[in-house]
Amino acid sequence: MSVRCQHLLIKHEGSRNPQSRRTGASTAGVGKESARKELEGFLEKALAGDDFAGMCQQRSDCGSFSNGGDLGNFTRGQMQKPFEDASFALKVGEISGIVDTDSGLHIIKRIA
């Protein structure tokens, strides 16, 4: 079984590669709690129905930002475990809470 998800990633100083793929800037000066607070604002907007893909294009630190955060289809074993668990627990159209991985903090939306 595979799922397809979009995600908005905010990297921080503790991320395994603290550099934004959107801007190229270092995130070494971004505290984890600061990143969490910013992501909470995006989560509130996403749950209110704002354009998730647009938010990903505007802010995500993942290279998928250019595709609206779309990671394409993936199966179990391809993503970091917390991300995988959250993705597979969602129903199509649902949005996760904040998910913490070695890459940073994410909001995930399952689209298929």
Q: Tell me the catalytic residues.
A: 7, 62, 80, 103, 106
Q: Residue 63 gets which letter from DSSP?
A: G
How distant, in Å, are the alpha carbons of 28, 29, 48, 71 from that of 109?
26, 27, 13, 10
Q: Report the C-alpha gap between 8 and 17 in whole angstroms.
A: 16
Q: Residues 32-56, buried b or exposed e (16+ Cβ, 10 A)?
A: beebeeebeebbeebeeeeebbebb
